[in-house]
Structure 1
């Protein structure tokens, strides 16, 4: 039978002012310059900043009961820091390797359930997994896949804490069709199989599971123009000398549209590519010589994307977490690097 760890991220912060390394436990600030969760879920009773409090939430208790009823040994952990997250993840380590690398146990009997109030929380855990298991370039082992910088990460089960995010305001679990009922999540953990998904890493040390949306609006909600060079592999979508209204990069479909404009045509979280789109306002003349502005959407797909701001700061959302881009940032795809338990 399995040992199952139910991990919840606390609203409390450690002495470093965050969840270690500048990242908030609940998906707040991280090394990419992100700020606070703006997914719109808002705090729940007894919680702070939209994060889980110290007492186990009802879905967590229900999932634990379902797992225990099936004979699993259940451990409930509320992590207040990166160190406490890392202590949980250490239970997924494999045997000691001759090269001394810390590696996940492909045949382990410990399984992880991450209780999430936002996609930013899930990202915080995946980021710690990447930091734990990704070897330094100088220690790259021969058994690592050519198109990857890290091994297959241990599968995780996702227990959504906000039922509303399964509806019109869809979180990543809803996009992936993952169960939301605690008993169904328990069944996926004990009876399911891993569904491997692509992961986006970036040169700022963070990861992206769903996608990112770049752009800004004024106090009235009107989009503001900004400029940046956006390049996908060898394709330049814009070189930075024309105004942009938005730029989206998608691993999944959370940022596929902006208002009534379709940005990403068909993002697929398991195709080994990232889809990128920029929305450019273009002035055209009608047959009567009148000028009007239409929105031109340019798209490309590839293994890597870079965004270089040409002036000032560019606000963005990355997995629902706010940030400001002030210098060039690059993302690349790690095909099939992470996985979720599905029935």
Structure 2
């Protein structure tokens, strides 16, 4: 994927790494080859050349194999989805990032692990629920569907109404203590693991009149439950789920970043 996105950046990274160390270059064409290459790394230190999704894939694979703690990762960012990589302290340019791989230091980072063994590297956010336009039920009568199709063909199409998101009703518990319950609608929930062994949690209650102050807490375990909800994490949207619990794994993984000097 990185080669198709920016082949020149991949070439530059390869040249810099090969000039500074004995590097074995592997260019997998898909997730299965990616997994095999990571599994067969031996004693070599893996360097991910790609975007947030590639880094998340590598961390997820190593976590499931329970080899993450002993394998420091390095990243050369290539692609358009790089907010997580840059937030973790990786340089933006291919040359600077490749040099950091060679001369940088390992930084230990916390990891959010959910109850389905999924991982989150950066910030996690639960946005308001999305309203959906009503859809006419399928009556099971082919002649009616044909007539409806004919009407849609003859009558100019109208714009589909865009319905505003509605607030979520969620129970948020931090280390077993309820921060907000189902009777309080919320606009958003976010949590982030840093490097302290605790997750920072913020809940924004629905404001009525004057703006409501966000509720904040820190804890090792965060549980969210309620109506089906989706959440944004790293490079994608996950769910829907009715309950999910995240636990902070302190210092669970290592990432090579530029040294202090």
Q: What secondary structure does 2:25 align onto?
A: strand
Q: Give the corresponding residue for 2:257.
A: 342
CA contact (8 A) 2:174 2:222 kept: yes
Matched, 1:276 2:169: no
Over 3 Å counting, the alpha-carbon distance change for 1:205 and 1:79 in structure 2 is: farther
Q: Give the corresponding residue for 1:308.
A: 225
CA distance in 1, matches of 2:72, 2:237: 27
Q: What secondary structure does 1:72 align onto?
A: coil
Matched, 1:171 2:83: yes
CA RMSD between the two structures: 2.4
Deviations 1:217-273 (A, max 9, x none): 55758442111111010321112122111111112xxxxxxxxxxxxxxxxx21111
Matched, 1:69 2:19: yes
Q: Give the corresponding residue for 2:179.
A: 237
CA contact (8 A) 1:243 1:281 kept: yes
CA displacement at 1:114 relative to structure 2? 1.1
CA distance in 2, matches of 1:181, 1:61: 13
Q: Which has the larger radius of gyration?
A: 2
Runs of 4+ in 1 over 6 A off after TM superposition: none
Q: Give the corresponding residue for 2:40.
A: 91
Q: TM-score, normalised by structure 2?
A: 0.78
In the alignment, structure 2 segments of 5+ residues that lack a partner are 132-160
CA displacement at 1:174 relative to structure 2? 1.9
CA distance in 1, matches of 2:108, 2:183: 39
Determine which of 247, 255, 259 is the counterpart of 1:332. 247
Q: Give the corresponding residue for 1:37.
A: none
Tell me which of the two structures has the higher relative contact order, counting C-alpha pairs closer than 8 angstroms and 6 or more residues apart.
2
Deviations 1:62-112 (A, max 9, x none): 01101122242331322412x32332222345xxxxxxxxxxxxxx4x121
CA distance in 2, matches of 1:221, 1:276: 28
Deviations 1:280-312 (A, max 9, x none): 1244xxxxxxxx242331011011101102x3x
Determine which of 95, 108, 113 is the counterpart of 1:201. 113
Determine which of 49, 57, 64 is the counterpart of 1:115. 49
Q: What secondary structure does 1:121 align onto?
A: helix
CA distance in 2, matches of 1:321, 1:55: 18
CA displacement at 1:61 relative to structure 2? 1.0
Over 3 Å counting, the alpha-carbon distance change for 1:204 and 1:80 in structure 2 is: same
Matched positions, count: 228
CA displacement at 1:197 relative to structure 2? 0.5
Aligned residue runs from structure 1 range 3-42, under 5 A: 10=1
CA contact (8 A) 2:171 2:180 kept: yes
CA distance in 1, matches of 2:84, 2:168: 28
In the alignment, structure 1 segments of 5+ residues that lack a partner are 1-9, 11-51, 94-107, 135-150, 252-268, 284-291
Aligned residue runs from structure 1 range 237-256, under 5 A: 237-251=179-193
Matched, 1:228 2:153: no
